[in-house]
Amino acid sequence: MVIKEVGRRIRLGLVGGGPGSMIGETHRIAARIDGHYDIVASALSSDPERARQAAAELGIAPERAYASWQDMLVQEAARDDRVDVIAIMTPNDSHYDICMRAIDHGFHIICDKPLANTLAQAREIAVAAQRKGVEFCVTYCYTGFPMVRQARDMVQNGELGEIRQVHLQYVQSYLAGELPKGWRTENKRGGDSLVLMDIGTHAFHLGAYVTGLDVTKLCADVGSAIPGRSVDDYVSALLHYENGARGSLWVTNAAAGSEHGLSFRIHGDKGGLEWHQEEPNKLIHRRHGGFEETITRRLGPEMSDGAQRSTRIHIGHPEGYLEAFANLYTEFAERVAERLKGIDSPRRATLYPTAADGVKGLALVAASVASTHHGTWQDVDRS
């Protein structure tokens, strides 16, 4: 079961995610579910009046409802009861500046994916965070599902044997019709590839999280499935993993009629696993020479440690996306609370994704874009 007590409530400040933002609401619910955070400060909108009013609705004291993230970082840094953690849910192209300044002030950070808009910026952030000793979580939120952790544990325990094949999909319809307005579709504010930055990095990370393996080389076809548009909406790629496993990836936000469509299917020498985010409480385990199992429990002696630590309710009651997201928040709260108590090394390996994972995502975006440009295979920069 998810940690009930972390020892001290964590003070949280929000950057972005104001009125009408789905991701903002998601972060706030994730912070509230287990009761480990108090949301005490915010810079919710670049419009000061909206920022103030939205903060009031969240019960944030007026003097901590900041008109800009710059104000928030400076003023919070000066308070005795300063926030412990900054959560960043702004457009991609602002992550770098906010992160670097927040690190300077020594705040621990929860940052939306992708970590930054370029590989170089992502690396800078990761290096700075480590140097300054701040804890860092990148919200590759799909890794928070109990069944994703069950899959990861099964791979680590050797239940699949050596991993041989990986297939990743993320097939949405967000851009299947008219291009929506907003920062994502504006002049590269979202980075070099809309589809990869927006959802492709989730798929890549999911594959790495479950298998424990990195992609070393890939051949990608990034482009627009719907002709004549200024942004890409499609990528398919051939993957080679570090252990020799082969893989493939199909990611698009232009598949008319789709909903969410994130899934993985991996096969090792002893069998395979398949998982779909839209039915997250089911993990299909195909056993070589045995019958197919559908793992639908999340608690109980037959479940892995990672699954059991990630669930709040059992006997077949479904959990969803908000609970998965909350798992990252709660695990980060536990780590931050350790730090606040002066414990430097975490008691156990983090289950949540870190800045290093954010860097890897950007390296895969860069390799995919380069491969498409040159029409050849490309090594992934893993330095």
Chain positions 263 to 282 lying near a copy of itself, rule: CB under 8 A, are 265, 267-272, 277-281
Check binding of 312 to a copy of itself (CB under 8 A): yes
Q: Which of residues 318-377 bind a copy of itself (CB under 8 A)?
A: 318-323, 375-377
Please report how close the Cβ of residue 136 comes to a copy of itself at its closest, in angstroms.
24
Among 106, 292, 343, 382, contact with a copy of itself (rule: CB under 8 A):
292
Q: How far is CA 312 from CA 33, 131, 162, 303, 318, in A?
A: 10, 35, 32, 14, 10
Burial class for 294, CB neighbours closer than 10 Å (0-12, 13-18, 19+): exposed
Pick 51 or 103: Cβ nearer a copy of itself: 51
Name residue, tokens 């479940």. Answer: 303
Cβ within 8 Å of residue 370, ≥6 positions away: 378
| Phi, psi for 73 (deg, rounded to 5) | -65, -45
Torsion of CA 10, 83, 54, 186, to 10 degrees: -110
Check binding of 183 to a copy of itself (CB under 8 A): no
Q: Which of residues 130-169 bind a copy of itself (CB under 8 A)?
A: 161, 164-165, 167
Check binding of 50 to a copy of itself (CB under 8 A): no
Using DSSP's 3-state secondary structure scheme, residue 136 falls into: strand
Pick 136 or 198: Cβ nearer a copy of itself: 198
Pick 129 or 268: Cβ nearer a copy of itself: 268
CA atoms within 13 Å, Cβ hemisphere of 303? 24
User: 345 - beta bridge partners?
Assistant: none
Q: Would you give the binding string for a copy of itself spanning residues 219-258, x where CB under 8 A is met? A: xxx-x-xxx------x-xxx-----xxxxx-x-x-xxxxx
Structure tokens at 12: 């949280």
Q: Would you give the binding string for a copy of itself spanning residues 13-42, x where CB under 8 A is met? A: ---------x--xx-xx--xxxx-------
